[in-house]
Chain A
């Protein structure tokens, strides 16, 4: 299907995707039949992974293109509704799909900061940024900075921010594909990483944005079906109504009652209990609202999200498309708290308070040992690999009463969604479906990120700065070569399972919020903002945020001692800091490392300004970025008349794109 037949394709979209969805349902039924016939689980798991990747690959190959505008912005003919679905898949990562419900399980009300932050950000996207960038007609976000702020320096600042937030993010998605494939179907982690790499490249290499768009729509359908089914079935089993999003109100009531009961039974101390629905038990209000703000503003500045709105046919469609995106994202995000509540009630009633010796006899708790054996569930401080391991570990705990107390039990955030099919007693086919959904979430996000990175390199650096006269064919070859290089490098980094990089994903939001948001918003909404102001603001905002992130995480002692006057640490925490430091300094050489670890871990909790946690670093960088941008702009000459006219043109929806592609 080349460009000529592309229009036939876009006019038949609803039929094509209805057929696809029906085909997928038939495939799931076929797997269910195979399971009943006794085909082993891991074969079914492989079928799920390979069938879905083969379908994405087919879409990727059919969407191949040799046109620049098709490659970068899918020819700007993606209808608002489908672009909304594609953005949903682009946005919801492996962490949203697998980890979000677990975060809500662990943090209760305070975890809702993620739900609010990752949805409310789209209001900023629609109102402040996306329609104007669409009108401008950029291929990439740095492309806009280049034109608006007169040249290479602003563009390079944008590229640096883009790289620093997108690369760690894409590595985390590839790690995500590896974890999903290794946990569900027992594939080797390193092999699974390269299977993920192939899954990403087949979707993006031949067709660029065009292929990524249509595979993301297909991936959205898989991931949303896979996410809803287990918890819908669970709700139907428990309450007879297949609407978990409404029925979990009852679950919350039962959790609250059970929490009181656990206190009465001595399973948890009253002061150690963090009630599920109680606000600010885990995060203080400053950090709760700070996190919401950073996630929202970060959402509105992440290049891989913004560039999805470059693909709509009109500015009007770009606005509508943001609304559709949010609706499709909402469907998953308003279900996640239901997952958390159902899982929490199940664990509080069947695991907490159970006799340690009886755990193995309860067949409903088989999932406990299954996920315990790969380190996702810990009881009495050890992996719940077998009943005996748990019994031995609990026996070693001083004064252990022989029943599982709340503090004895630890479940990894990732285990909530993946263990729900088994908690609900569903057949393996549903677990396989969840694996396919998680894989779709990880691959679709990785595709979007990879394209954002590779396009910045090929369009903004190669074409705009190195060889502006490059012919179309060469531009497209360079774009693909860079895509492969970035993808292989990301997979190579991912194959080491870098824990630090996965943790750094949360940083992407603060870095984007401080580094890009002020320049984008003021570039559109303030004519007075000039290139000197924008560059200064981007450097200061991004630099300050990076300094805070790295300083508080990796140089906690130095950071604390430099800024101890601003630290929000309590007296007791400061005393502990001094004690641990003295202990580390006095420690014998062989004990030095352990003492440093204890000291450094504690130092990270006191190294801060006003108690703001590392993840909300943009709380400082973003406002200061805005201030610097406005002050420096006003101290230097206003932008030229031509530039002010350009801004007027960007604001008006009428009149076609501002940037014209000469060769396409």
Chain B
């Protein structure tokens, strides 16, 4: 199992962490700075700024986490650090 290169693997892991946190930051804070402007757009009756805070960002978070779990697992396998070999 220790055939992987720890440095390379950790660099990929850290890269994924940063990507995930950038997406997290955008949908936690970034887009909500523009809530007032986004509210000018109405989708299915929802002002868009309101919709993003009430549902849109949440949906992104859920998708992000399932994607993250898969992506980290792929990194672990490629570098030989996954559990059970």
Contact = CB atoms under 8 A, between A and B. Distances in A.
B82 interface: yes
Contacts of B80: 654
B20 to A, nearest CB: 5
B16 to A, nearest CB: 8
A122 B61 contact: yes
A316 interface: yes
A277 B50 contact: yes
Interface in B16-40: 17, 20-21, 24, 27-29, 32-33, 35-36, 39
A123 B65 contact: yes
A358 interface: no
Contacts of B6: 648, 652
B51 to A, nearest CB: 8
A277 B41 CA distance: 12
A315 interface: yes
A23 interface: no
Contacts of A112: 50, 53-54
Interface string A128-158: 1001000000000000000000000000000
A126 B50 contact: no
Given A250-B45, A315-B83, A323 B39 contact: no
B81 A654 contact: yes
Interface residues of B, number: 48
B38 to A, nearest CB: 9
A280 B53 CA distance: 13
Given A127-B68, A253-B45, A319-B73, A330 B27 contact: no
B83 A654 contact: yes
Interface centre among A127, A288, A289, A326 (most CB of B within 10 A): A127
A298 B59 CA distance: 21
Interface in B43-65: 43-47, 49-51, 53-55, 57-59, 61-62, 64-65
A586 to B, nearest CB: 45
A327 interface: yes
Contact of B28 (A280, A296, A327, A648): A296
B55 A334 contact: yes
Interface of A is mostly: helix
B28 A116 contact: yes
Given A292-B29, A296-B28, A653-B83, A319 B69 contact: yes
B27 A120 contact: yes
A357 interface: no
A278 B39 contact: yes
B82 A249 contact: no
A320 B83 CA distance: 14
Nearest to B85: A654
B68 A116 contact: no
A277 to B, nearest CB: 4
A498 to B, nearest CB: 32
Nearest to A108: B50
B62 A330 contact: yes
A523 B58 CA distance: 28
Contacts of B84: 314
Contacts of B28: 116, 120, 123, 292-293, 296
B39 A279 contact: yes
Nearest to B66: A323
Contacts of B65: 122-123, 126, 319, 322-323, 326
Interface centre among B28, B44, B82 (most CB of A within 10 A): B28
A653 B61 contact: no
Contacts of B58: 115-116, 119, 330, 333-334
Contacts of B57: 116, 119-120
Interface centre among A112, A248, A315, A655 (most CB of B within 10 A): A112
A28 interface: no
Given A245-B55, A653-B83, A124 B24 contact: yes
Nearest to B27: A120
- Ordered nearest first, which 7 A-B pairs have the shortest CB separation? A249-B45, A323-B65, A112-B53, A319-B69, A279-B35, A249-B46, A249-B44
24 contacts: A109-B50, A112-B54, A116-B58, A119-B57, A123-B28, A123-B65, A127-B21, A131-B72, A246-B44, A249-B46, A277-B47, A279-B35, A279-B36, A279-B50, A296-B28, A316-B69, A319-B72, A323-B62, A323-B65, A323-B66, A327-B62, A654-B76, A654-B80, A654-B81
Given A279-B36, A652-B81, 18 more contacts: A109-B49, A109-B53, A116-B53, A119-B57, A119-B61, A120-B61, A122-B61, A123-B65, A253-B42, A253-B45, A280-B36, A319-B65, A319-B68, A326-B65, A330-B61, A337-B55, A651-B13, A654-B76
